[in-house]
Amino acid sequence: MGLAKPNSNLDNQNSKVRKIAIFASGAGSNAQKIIDHFRGNAEVSIAVIACNKPGAGVLNIAEKEGIPVLMIDKEQFFRGDAYVPFLKEKQIDLVVLAGFLWKIPEALISAFPRQIINIHPALLPKYGGKG
């Protein structure tokens, strides 16, 4: 996966560290690539890895990399805004869905307008899955 270099001209707060929350459900190969890409970058940090699956490989990656983990409970997640306060407290700038297998509640989308991106593992719309 090739990632573009971060644009430091996103707004007039160029000195602010951009904080990313990675949401993942599985092995974490995309999460690892994102972590590796931004390693040593003073402008970007991976602030948290959110996971909805106990035992997922991405949890091992988080531990190895020293990144805090947010375990997502299904009932709370689909209530809508249960995790928004935590993400806001962490001052998350960007949510990256890197193999996260649940539909994102509207409240979370509304809390992070134009700040959520999804990595899809196949050609869209041909292989869109159940959603």
Print the SS3 string covering the chain. Answer: CCCCCCCCCCCCCCCCCEEEEEEECCCCHHHHHHHHHHCCCCCEEEEEEEECCCCCHHHHHHHHHCCCEEECCHHHHHCCCCCHHHHHHCCCCEEEEECCCCCCCHHHHHHCCCCEEEECCCCCCCCCCCC
37 in catalytic set: no
User: Which of 16, 64, 88, 120 is the catalytic position?
Assistant: 120
Active site positions, annotated: 120
